Structure 1
Amino acid sequence: MPEVVTLGETMVLLNALNTGPLKYVTHFVRQIGGAESNFAIGVSRLGHSVGWISRVGKDEFGKYIISFIRGEGVDTSQVKEDSDAPTGVFFKERQEGGESKVYYYRKGSAASRMVPADLNPDYIAGAKFLHITGITPALSESCYETILEAIRLAKSRGVTISLDPNIRLKLWSAERAKEVIMGLVSQADIVLPGLEEGRLLVGAEEPEEIAARMLKTGAKIVVIKCGDKGAYLATETYAEFVPGYPVARVVDPIGAGDGFAAGFISGLLKGWSVTEAVKLANAVGARATQVIGDVEGLPTMEEVEIFLGQRREIER
Structure 2
Amino acid sequence: MPATSAAPILVVGDVFDDLIVTPHGEVRPDTDTTASIERRDGGSAANAAAWFAASGHPVRFFGTVNRIDVDRHTASLAEAGVTAVLAPSELPTGTIVVILQDERTRTMLTERGANAVTSAADVDPGLLVAGAHLHLTGYTLFNGGDEPTVDRGVHEFATLIGCARAAGASVSVNPGSAGFLLDHGVDDLLEATDGATVVLPNLDEGRVLTGEEEPERIVAALLQRYEVVALTQGRNGVLAGARSGARAEAPAVLVDPVDTTGAGDAFGAAFVSSLLGDGSQQLVGRRVDEGALRAAAEEGVRASSRAVTRLGARPPASGTPRAEAVR
Question: Which interval holds the TM-score relative to the shorter structure?
Answer: 0.7 to 0.9
8 Å contact kept, 2:158–2:194: no
* 2:100 is aligned with 1:94: yes
Q: How far did residue 173 of structure 1 move?
A: 6.0
Alignment of 1:125-274 (within 5 A): 125=129, 128-140=132-144, 141=149, 142-167=152-177, 169=179, 172=180, 174=182, 176-216=184-224, 218-270=225-277, 273-274=292-293
Deviation at 1:112, TM superposition (A): 1.3
Distance change >3 Å, CA 22–CA 37, structure 1 → 2: farther
Q: CA RMSD in A?
A: 2.5
Pairs aligned (count): 291
Structure 2 residues not aligned, in runs of 5+: 1-5, 279-290, 319-327
Supply the distance in 2 between the matched residues of 1:32 and 1:237 (Cα, whole angstroms): 39
- 1:310 maps to none
Equivalent residues of 2:134, 2:169 under 8 A apart: yes
1:65 aligns to 2:70 (yes or no):
no
**Contact residue 2 and residue 50 of structure 1 kept, 8 A:** no
Partners of 2:197 and 2:243 in 1: CA distance: 12
Give the aligned residue type for 1:193: P
Would the alpha carbon gap of residues 116 and 268 (structure 1) be closer, same or farther in structure 2, given more than 3 Å must change? closer
TM-score w.r.t. length of structure 2: 0.81
232-241 or 256-265, larger mean C-alpha shift: 232-241
Cα deviation, 1:124-178, whole Å, max 9, x if unaligned, reads: 3366211111111111325544433321321221211111112252xx4616331
Q: 1:201 to 1:290 in 2, by over 3 A?
A: same
Partner residue of 1:51? Answer: 60
Matches within 5 A, 1:25-40: 27-40=36-49
1:13 is aligned to 18
Cα distance change of structure 1 residues 206 and 144 upon mapping to structure 2, 3 Å threshold: same
Distance in 2 of aligned mates of 1:287 and 1:260: 10
Q: Which amino acid aligns with 1:240?
A: R
**1:72 is matched by which residue type in structure 2?**
A
Alpha-carbon distance between aligned partners in 1 of 2:251 and 2:236, rounded to the nearest angstrom: 5
Could you list the per-position Cα deviations for residues 66-88 of structure 1 after superposition, in whole angstroms to 9, with x for gaps in the alignment? 22111111011x32112x22211
RCO comparison, higher one (Cα < 8 Å, 6+): 2
What is the TM-score of this pair, normalised by structure 1?
0.84
User: For structure 1, which runs of at least 5 residues remain unmatched after alignment?
Assistant: 300-316
Instruction: Tell me, yes or no, if the aligned pair for 2:136 and 2:173 is still in contact at 8 Å.
Output: yes
State the shift of 1:297 in Å: 6.0
Structure 1 residues 29 and 143, CA gap change in structure 2 (3 angstroms)? farther
% identical aligned pairs? 24
SS in 1 for 2:135: strand
